[in-house]
Structure 1
């Protein structure tokens, strides 16, 4: 006899029907130089945590569910008192933990954190430490856990395609943004909402000159020369963390400064989504776009 109280899903994988023709591919570097991919951000998705948030990036060239986009979830536990055996601390102890789900990337991830995940955790802690008012909670601790449900990779790429880890820049940017929303949802006092943004020096094909784009989708470009990820406090106009990767042609300082400025534009765009998501938490009737 079937259990009528439970709806069992299909055994195999399913794909939803697509009734419309696929949208034409578009190059965001040409059509909208200062635009980033659309962000879906929602707070309060984990009731058992003090604060939580979920972030998802839209893939503008997606024609089927097999094309990937970035999906992150963040939970905040605390502030809570440290053990009696812990030494006295006049400020809050911040602990960040970034972990890929085993199925998040093309290569299956292990259950223990590797070096790249530890690096993401260090960068995330540095970015958030400049935003939290730490002296409000002496001898207290807060744990921020970010889980990468789906990485910003192209699963349809050939197995022998070289992977230089450029997608980690977008992952760090998303971790900063989603953690900022989760911290605000937990009611932890901050000087400002921190947002992450990425700018990269890319080449569309083998003959095109390098150009700077915001929020690059790695699979859309022929080559990526360098990328810059910044954590930014828009209201205070302060940078809490910067991570630069790659090499610039001729070590051009002006080009580096231009990449930093473009990264700040991406941060401001992402911060608008964070502010709208927090407003939607207070007023659920207002939609977040």
Structure 2
């Protein structure tokens, strides 16, 4: 035995190579998607508050195979060196190591830090930060299963908004979020609401919109890829329609939490 080098095992097996997923048609002959939805349909949503009992407010949301948990702690007092006339909102967005097909690391990467900033930018306009000076609110988001990165970020924004309301923090309105996937089929650009991971593999771009339905105000818009201005405008209008439908689900979950 050569002790100067690492010896391999006595027995070994052939490695398993993962086959690349073949491209599939986004729409079938009946203009239906892979899960029998139309282009404007949203996946079923399950939303419930009070998941984390030790947090001031929490929420759990399922959108299809996407599963996200959120916990809100605060408001807490800031240090004297961090004085601010307005309340500071911090967010920690994290993918679980087993949430994606490719295993994620335990340390937050650049994408997760970017998503944390997007969640803060989306929910901050709805929070009355002027009523909580010298304080901070911490939002912790954990993705348990990811079935579409853009739709997963929309689910995180919804869960964060419901968690803030569950914590009793005064807000102007709830923040809903909806995403669309821009894809091309037969030289025609399609707008698919709440795209799945398989649909995102063939996307040309995406649009994520955060919206306050009662005030009719947009808090954040994120677009990736290239598209015509007319297509982008139509995608935003489609997202607003989707946000209005999601708003009723958020309201029902908060009303149910009061009866428990």
Alignment correspondent of 1:193: 174
Q: What are the superposed Cα offsets for residues 56-94 of structure 1, whole Å, 9 maximum, x if unpaired?
A: 112xxxxxxxxxx111000000001112x3332111111
CA distance in 2, matches of 1:143, 1:222: 33
Match for residue 104 of structure 2?
109
Q: How far off its partner does 1:171 sit?
A: 1.5
1:131 aligns with 2:126: yes
Q: Deviations over 1:193-220 (max 9, x none)?
A: 001101222246xx47321121111314
* Higher mean C-alpha deviation, range 236-245 or range 209-218: 209-218
Residue of 70, 75, 92 corresponding to 1:74: 70
Answer yes or no: is 1:275 the counterpart of 2:247. Answer: no
2:4 match: none
- Cα distance, 1:256 vs. partner? 1.2
Structure-1 separation of matches of 2:146 and 2:220: 22
Q: Deviations over 1:97-147 (max 9, x none)?
A: 100111111111111110110110010000011110001111011100000
Quote the residue 1:39 is aligned against.
45
Is it true that 1:93 corresponds to 2:99 in the alignment? no
Q: Following the alignment from structure 1 to structure 2, what is the Cα–Cα distance between the partners of residues 139 and 220?
A: 45
1:1-289, aligned counterparts within 5 Å?
A: 27=33, 32-58=38-64, 69-83=65-79, 85-152=80-147, 167-203=148-184, 207=186, 209-220=188-199, 223-248=202-227, 252-284=228-260
Note the residue ranges of structure 1 that are not aligned, 5 or more in a row: 1-24, 59-68, 153-166, 285-289
In the alignment, the residues of structure 2 paired with residue 209 and residue 144 of structure 1 have an alpha-carbon distance, to the nearest angstrom, of 40
**Number of aligned positions between the proteins:** 230
With over 3 angstroms needed to count, the CA separation of the structure-2 counterparts of 1:222 and 1:139, relative to structure 1, is: closer
In the alignment, the residues of structure 1 paired with residue 166 and residue 92 of structure 2 have an alpha-carbon distance, to the nearest angstrom, of 18
8 Å Cα contact 1:74-1:144 kept in structure 2: yes
Distance 1:29 1:230, change over 3 A: farther
Change beyond 3 A, Cα 1:210–1:81: same
C-alpha separation in 1, matches of 2:49 and 2:134: 27
Greater C-alpha radius of gyration: 2
TM-score by length of 1: 0.75
Secondary structure of 1:270's aligned partner: helix
Give the structure-2-normalised TM-score.
0.83
**More deviation, 274-283/70-79:** 274-283
- The RMSD of aligned alpha carbons is 2.0
The 3-state SS of whatever aligns with 1:200 is: strand
**Contact 2:87/2:129 (<8 A) preserved:** yes
Q: Which runs of 5+ in 2 are unaligned?
A: 1-29
Q: Take 1:151 and 1:273, find their aligned partners in 2: how far apart are those partners?
A: 21
Distance 2:36 2:97 in 1: 35
Asked whether the 8 Å contact 2:78–2:134 carries over to 1, the reply is: yes
Bigger fraction of residues in strand: 2
